[in-house]
Structure 1
Amino acid sequence: MALISVLQAQGAVGAVEENLELLRSFAGRAAEAGTEILVTPELFATGYAPERVAGEDGSAIREQIARIAADSGIAIVASTVEHTIERSAGFAANATTERRFISASLFASDGNELTRYRKSNLFGAEEQRVFDLGDAAAEVVEVAGLRVALAICYDIEFPEIARRAAVAGAEALLIPTAVPSTGDVAGDQPGHSYNAEVISTHMVPVRALENGLYIAYANHSGPGFTGLSTIASPYGNTLAIAGRDDAELLSAEILSLEVSKAREVNTYLKDLRDPR
């Protein structure tokens, strides 16, 4: 059993130090409540504004978040910008290519970075203009006695991402996110419109159900975002959900035994014809 908490708060663009100080404060509160893993929103330290923050080098931010994890004594999942410089092979051996990713890291309670995942489904034209696609599946690692994997925001809207993590042995999927509010859009008839709030209220619980795992989904609050951060159980139930506008800290107990039970009730993974 582990206590997982989800931070919902507004990461202000251009206010890295203030955002990190807010994270430190909430990490302290989470630790006092017995939290073992804290999940934070997508690009929280820089604020979510892809074109404005793509030039940031997240290495220094990751060092600071690692210190917060170590100081608070809890594991932290945090999303940052990751830059790489890759040297070309063959004829253009001296040429280099700069690549930029939206990444998520899991820092252990001693500050060690256990794993890093690069977002593999970029949302909208703005992200797609300034970031590169990650091309590697998330690792499954053990922390606080749980087998966990990472995903980022738009990834959860593709069923393959959660399924791949479940097949690889994940018991929980930890997801920093930044869901823009849409209001009701598209269709004109009752029941024929779309609102991005359904990702938290419908899609996240269904992904948890169909894969028999827990999902902790941490969103930004405030203007322009849907809020509604959530923790869902492997039975497809919502264990905790935030409001739309305020900073909140959600918590729920994560039980490996319930993952096993849920997969006995709904044998989707067992009955897969092709787990790929």
Structure 2
Amino acid sequence: MIKVAAIQMCSGTQPERNVQTMERMVREAAAAGATYVQTPEMTGALQRDRAIFSTILREQENDIIACRAGELAAELGIYLHVGSTAIARGDGKIANRGLLFDPKGRLATTYDKIHMFDVDLDNGESWRESSAYTPGKDARVIDLGFARLGFAICYDVRFPALFRAEAVAGAEILTVPAAFTRQTGEAHWHVLLRARAIENGAFVIAAAQGGLHEDGRETYGHSLIIDPWGRILAEGPEAGEAVIFAELDISASRAARARIPNLKNARDFNLDMLPALAKGGLTA
């Protein structure tokens, strides 16, 4: 059994304030016994103004969130997973990057968000992540000793092949830190995350942003921890800060996969594109 925590934030536009919030909530999680703690997507800042955003960007070794997270992980003796923060790549583009620090404060691995949120929503919201961010190319699974952890960020949740690949590689915990919009969250957040847990026989941990942010956007909240059978073990509020906890029995992942062995039973197949039917029905 391991105790995990997901931290729900409502990140503002200034990393200096957000890092203080992150530290306070990480300490709360560790004090309650969590050995793995996850923060949401864009922990460092949510800022729509590109010109202002560019002034707060730093490369990873100088990023305030990355540096403080490593120090906290070492001090508290925990795995600290910064769900993501914006990292300057040095080529004029940005990485939406997750960072996992081990209990000695060492950077265990990073993950750059693969799928870019380029959408136009019914309420007039329009997002083009690819105009600023460089998408990642590599899925990641890391063995922490007590469990294998797979990585994703927010919009990645809509691409089940990513999660299937990580599960086939042995991931028992799938992570989906996010800053889901309110509109899409109300429609799809719970069902997508529960589906990823069920179809892969894995725990899902999804720390979320929640509430009305300083830059005017509104995120859905409802941070979730879900078991391999799709049951919600812990859930955050619709808006505002929260730390949610669950104790995970990692053997439950193996048990779920034994009961419904769909990962093992998957088969390759061919797809035939058939010609259109003639008007009036089938032809001879």
Give TM-score, length-normalised by structure 1.
0.85
**How is 1:42-53 mapped onto 2 (pairs within 5 angstroms)?**
42-47=41-46, 49=48, 51=50, 53=53
| SS in structure 2 at match of 1:109 | coil
1:35-57 deviations in Å (ceiling 9; x for gaps): 01111111111236484535612
Q: CA RMSD in A?
A: 1.9
Match 1:80 to one of 56, 78, 85: 85
Check conservation: 2:59, 2:89, Cα contact below 8 A: no
Q: Name 1:101's counterpart in structure 2.
A: 95
Shift of 1:196: 2.4
Q: Name 2:132's counterpart in structure 1.
A: 130
Q: Name 2:112's counterpart in structure 1.
A: 118
1:76 is aligned with what amino acid?
A: L
Runs of 4+ in 1 over 4 A off after TM superposition: none
Shift of 1:98: 4.4
Give TM-score, length-normalised by structure 2.
0.83
1:3 & 1:58 partners in 2: Cα distance? Answer: 32
- Percent of pairs identical after alignment? 28
1:48 & 1:198 partners in 2: Cα distance? Answer: 24
Shift of 1:74: 1.5
1:54-79 deviations in Å (ceiling 9; x for gaps): 56124223112111222222111111
| SS in structure 2 at match of 1:10 | coil
1:147-205 deviations in Å (ceiling 9; x for gaps): 102111100111111111101110101222101112xxxxxxxxxxxx52243321101
Q: Name 2:199's counterpart in structure 1.
A: 210
1:63 & 1:268 partners in 2: Cα distance? Answer: 41
| SS in structure 1 at match of 2:220 | coil
Shift of 1:126: 2.9
**How is 1:239-250 mapped onto 2 (pairs within 5 angstroms)?**
239-250=233-244
Matched, 1:226 2:220: yes
Check conservation: 2:139, 2:151, Cα contact below 8 A: no
Q: Name 2:273's counterpart in structure 1.
A: none
1:122 & 1:69 partners in 2: Cα distance? Answer: 29
| SS in structure 1 at match of 2:210 | coil
1:82 is aligned with what amino acid?
A: I
1:146 is aligned with what amino acid?
A: A
| SS in structure 2 at match of 1:228 | coil
1:214 & 1:6 partners in 2: Cα distance? Answer: 13
Where structure 2 has 5 or more consecutive residues not aligned to the other structure, the ranges are 119-126, 213-217, 270-284
Q: Name 2:262's counterpart in structure 1.
A: 268
Q: State which structure, 1 or 2, has the greater radius of gyration over its C-alpha atoms.
A: 2
The total of aligned residue pairs comes to: 250
1:58 & 1:232 partners in 2: Cα distance? Answer: 33
Shift of 1:221: 1.4
